[in-house]
Amino acid sequence: MSGHETSKGGVIRFLIDNSLLLVIGAVAALTWANLADRSGSSSYQDFIHYDVRNLWGGGEHHPPSPVSIDDHAASPSAGESAPADQAAAGATEHSEDAHGESHADGGHHWYSLGFLINDVLMALFFAIAAKEVWESLLPGGALSNPRKAATPLLATFGGIVGPALFYLAGAYATGTQAELGQGWAVPCATDIAFSYLVARLIFGAGHPAIAFLLLLAIADDAAGLMILAIFYPSAPIEPIWLLLTATAMGLAWLLRKLKVHSHWFYILGPGVLSWFSFYSAHIHPALGLVPIIPLLPAATSDLGIFAKAELQRDDTLNEFEHFWKTPVECILGLFGLANAGVVLSSVGTGTWLVLAGLLLGKPVGITAMTLLAEKGFRLQKPAGMDYRHVVTLGMVAGIGFTVALFVSVAAFKIPGATQDSVKMGALLSFGAAPLAILIAKLLSIRADSDDEDNDKETESDVAA
């Protein structure tokens, strides 16, 4: 990911570079949904299901059903039919019906705002995440040296298994395994942007814990993409459509051989084909651009995540990120607005299970696997890090937010009380930030000097 440039552009640039549009969108959604709930209005739900064809006079008004029915999902519990619970839905309509054919409006969901945000526009967000994963595997990338990356990779494994085990154990203990068990992957996510900002505040820009966290977060992104594709299809996967994915990849490879530089040819040609193949195969279409990303012409080395020097690169892959970075931040704001609107009364068992996974499972899993890596496999932590830093870093990684919110919608396809309670857990994972700051103070961790030299040192450490 390109380095942050907060020195120019004023407030708007600051909001964009620090991913704060997502927070603003989420806060606006929470406020809107709760005000609508108090007044008995369905305005928030109407917004999510808004037919964008109305913008040019071509749409029809379709009052949203209180509960969306999924051909492949179980019936919702009685509590999920309450209008207050439904007003905050914002679920991906493609996930509710694989092709929209059973909708009374005959495919109206293709034009709903929720579908366009969650299934179409968010494909660009996951494409940029895939770009970071792919570059990390290049020479000089964070994951290019297996020996140096081994400890953070094992910590990543702990940061996935730990939250999942805590979540599932809690579901069994509360007797909600049948209702909530499928959400085990929600607390496995780490929000790389917000965790990075909090880690810089706690450790300082030059501390080795920053590089360790970024390595962990990159690997977590890669695992998250695979979990979404494998465990959360919208319906039974139809492998025949993956032949179209292969065709799209072949076309991208041909464009690369022909030395086509502009990223537009790759996105509008092979990218659209790949997206449609995922949609038709019932793999979440938001992942549809991922297979194309490694085939875009790219530099032969990686400078490191958030490296400012990457802004000077003009290869196709970096051109893609440079063009879409700001629009994607705006898309994330829309994503927060369309998905975070849950009424405060939605707090329930799902909320506590997600928080247990993120605030307990993450630090326990990361710390335990780091200890195993050092004591069991004779691997090393980065110089300058001890277990005070590992425990604190584990709590920082408990900020799930963006991907956790996305997985909440993918795991619980029917809008209602269950989905909203899990979403609330994803939103409240921001509580990991003050907890991490408190832990750092209790463990006497002080931030290094946050100067430019340290910033460069961190970037080079990640790239090493």
156-193 tens-digit pLDDT: 999 999 999 999 999 999 999 999 999 999 999 898 88
Q: From CA 4, how far away is CA 17, in angstroms rounded?
A: 6
Mean pLDDT of 89-115: 52
Confidence band for 94, pLDDT divided at 50, 70 and 90: very low
Amino acid at 35: L
Confidence band for 302, pLDDT divided at 50, 70 and 90: low
> Which of 8-17, 80-89, 310-319, 374-383 comes out lowest in average pLDDT?
80-89
For residue 91, which phi and psi values (nearest 5 degrees)? -80, 160
Q: Which two tokens stand for residue 251?
A: 């076309």
- Phi/psi zone of residue 412: left (φ > 0), alpha (ψ -120 to 50 degrees), beta? beta
Residue 86 clears pLDDT 70, i.e. is over it: no
Mean pLDDT over each residue of the chain, to the nearest integer: 82
170 compared with 446, residue with greater pLDDT: 170
Q: pLDDT tens, 36-45?
A: 999 999 999 9
Taking residue 6's Cβ as centre, other Cβ atoms within 10 Å add up to: 13
CA-based nearest residue to 397, from 356, 436, 434: 436
Q: Which two tokens stand for residue 164?
A: 């999942």
Sequence-distant (≥ 6) Cβ neighbours of residue 464 within 8 angstroms: 140, 145, 148
Mean pLDDT of 361-370: 96
The answer to whether the CB of 397 falls within 8 A of the CB of 327 is: no
What pLDDT is stored for residue 452 in this prediction? 44
Taking residue 410's Cβ as centre, other Cβ atoms within 10 Å add up to: 23
What pLDDT is stored for residue 203 in this prediction? 92
Q: From CA 432, how far away is CA 453, in angstroms rounded?
A: 28
The answer to whether the CB of 425 falls within 8 A of the CB of 353 is: yes
Q: Which two tokens stand for residue 134?
A: 């792919």
What pLDDT is stored for residue 400 in this prediction? 92
Confidence band for 145, pLDDT divided at 50, 70 and 90: confident
Sequence-distant (≥ 6) Cβ neighbours of residue 401 within 8 angstroms: 22, 189, 191, 194, 426, 427, 429, 430
Q: From CA 147, how far away is CA 55, in angstroms rounded?
A: 55
What pLDDT is stored for residue 110 in this prediction? 78
358 compared with 68, residue with greater pLDDT: 358
Residue 428 clears pLDDT 90, i.e. is over it: yes
**What is the value of pTM for the model shown?**
0.77
**CA distances, 351 to each of 162, 423, 449 (Å):** 17, 7, 37
Q: From CA 291, how far away is CA 358, in angstroms rounded?
A: 29
Residue 298 clears pLDDT 50, i.e. is over it: yes
The answer to whether the CB of 421 falls within 8 A of the CB of 405 is: no
CA-based nearest residue to 302, from 71, 91, 60, 133: 133
What pLDDT is stored for residue 205 in this prediction? 74
Amino acid at 357: G
What pLDDT is stored for residue 463 in this prediction? 46
CA-based nearest residue to 392, from 367, 356, 414: 367
Q: From CA 89, how far away is CA 44, in angstroms rounded?
A: 9
Q: From CA 121, how far away is CA 119, in angstroms rounded?
A: 6
Mean pLDDT of 330-357: 94
What pLDDT is stored for residue 20 in this prediction? 86
**CA distances, 347 to each of 100, 196, 339, 403, 428 (Å):** 30, 27, 15, 19, 10
Confidence band for 84, pLDDT divided at 50, 70 and 90: very low
Q: From CA 244, how far away is CA 202, in angstroms rounded?
A: 47
The answer to whether the CB of 329 falls within 8 A of the CB of 402 is: no
**H helices of 258-361, where?**
263-266, 272-281, 316-339, 349-356
The answer to whether the CB of 404 falls within 8 A of the CB of 350 is: no
Mean pLDDT of 14-29: 87
Q: pLDDT tens, 200-251?
A: 899 987 788 888 898 888 888 888 889 988 999 878 899 999 999 999 999 9
**CA distances, 401 to each of 59, 189, 218, 241 (Å):** 33, 8, 16, 32
Residue 264 clears pLDDT 90, i.e. is over it: yes
Q: pLDDT tens, 69-82?
A: 333 333 333 333 34
Percent with pLDDT over 70 in the chain = 80
Q: From CA 164, how far away is CA 274, in angstroms rounded?
A: 30
Residue 309 clears pLDDT 80, i.e. is over it: no
